[in-house]
Structure 1
Amino acid sequence: MDYQLRPATSDDLPEIISIYNSTIASRQVTADITPITLADRHGWLESHQQQGHPVYAIFKAETLIGWFSFSPFYGRPAYRHTCEISIYLAPQARGQGLGKWILPRTEQIARQQGIKVLLGFIFSHNIPSIKLFEHNEYQRWGELPQIAELDEQRYSLSILGKHLDAV
């Protein structure tokens, strides 16, 4: 596979938003119910960089086909080495094994950033994402039953986690 990774720049933001928005209608990936705008993400990229967790862009042949980010968990000092991981792929990049390629690389970058625990918050009905994480040795650490409401239906949220250091 001929993929490249690099920290995202402000020039990448329109495509990052487009990829994110492409997931909303499926009701499988994000709890947003309407598309976001560039104005909605004003400062978001810089905030990640300031926290020491830049957003990464994924490229194939110079085309941005996905991105991932780490977000601090819960905002308390004791959780400073724990982050949520978010991965989003462009429609044309889904179902081609990119997730299997990217997840181990996100872990490598996380370790370099001092992250010791990664959490995935995944809708329980998003079986492909759950299988991807379980394939990479993430364990189900919990489920929040029927906490999201999309289109007048309730959905559960699974919490998958992995210790990146020896426990």
Structure 2
Amino acid sequence: MIIRHATAADAAGIAAIYNDAVRHTTAVLVDTEVDAQNRADWMAGRQAQGYPVLVAVDGAEVIAYASYGDFRPSEGYRGTVENSIYVAPAARGQGLAPRLLGDLIAHARAIGKHVMVAVITAENDISIRLHARAGFVGTAILREVGQKFGRWHDVAFMELRLDDRPSP
């Protein structure tokens, strides 16, 4: 198993992992599945901004992926990014998510980002623990702001300060 930057050839594997999360989890509050072209376009957009899309591969199979992008689109938030990590069901519990998150944090620091944010459905204890172990702190719970599977979902916000600059 290796972790590397994703290429367009990884788009179908990324789509399969994402679609599993759409169908079976509240990790993403989306009901619509995507195809490989959608993920290729998404990946190209991230990479054009200088943001990473990382994949963990076992042979030729994508078993996890991670990325970050702008937290909000306005320039006042340009120092802040939001991460996302998805692991294929068969690959969970192998330590991929902490490795991917560590690589994302290192990349964000290297390009001068100030804060990394995680927005997690509050019932997702695994993701909350993952981020807490990486140094993220909980900052807010927004009550019933999301919906999926016929119920409301609270959303937790966590943040990691990436540097100690007193001003931008």
Give the alignment's TM-score, normalised by structure 2: 0.90
2:54 counterpart of 1:60: no
Deviations 1:39-94 (A, max 9, x none): 43452121111111131112234432111111101112121121000001111111
Give the paired residue count: 165
Deviates more, 1:39-48 or 1:92-101: 39-48
In structure 2, distance between residues paired with 1:127 and 1:138:
14
In structure 2, distance between residues paired with 1:98 and 1:20:
16
| Residues 18-167 of structure 1: pairs in structure 2 closer than 5 A | 18-41=16-39, 43-166=41-164
2:37 counterpart of 1:15: no
SS class of match (2:131): helix
Deviates more, 1:37-46 or 1:9-18: 37-46
SS class of match (2:9): helix
Deviates more, 1:67-76 or 1:102-111: 102-111
In structure 2, distance between residues paired with 1:113 and 1:71:
13
In structure 1, distance between residues paired with 2:99 and 2:92:
12
SS class of match (2:73): coil
Structure 1's unaligned 5+ residue stretches are none
Please state which structure has a larger fraction of its residues in helix.
Answer: 2
In structure 1, distance between residues paired with 2:117 and 2:73:
14
Contact 2:13 2:62 in 1 (8 A): yes
SS class of match (1:128): helix
Contact 1:53 1:113 in 2 (8 A): no
Deviates more, 1:137-146 or 1:93-102: 93-102
Contact 2:98 2:130 in 1 (8 A): yes
Structure 2's unaligned 5+ residue stretches are none
> Structure 1 residues 40 and 25, CA, compared in 2 at 3 Å: closer, same or farther?
same
Name the % identity: 28
CA positional deviation for 1:118: 0.6
In structure 1, distance between residues paired with 2:142 and 2:121:
9
In structure 1, distance between residues paired with 2:37 and 2:104:
27
Q: Which amino acid aligns with 1:143?
A: I
Q: Give me the CA root mean square deviation.
A: 1.6
Contact 1:27 1:150 in 2 (8 A): no
Q: Which amino acid aligns with 1:35?
A: E
Give the alignment's TM-score, normalised by structure 1: 0.90
In structure 2, distance between residues paired with 1:27 and 1:154:
14
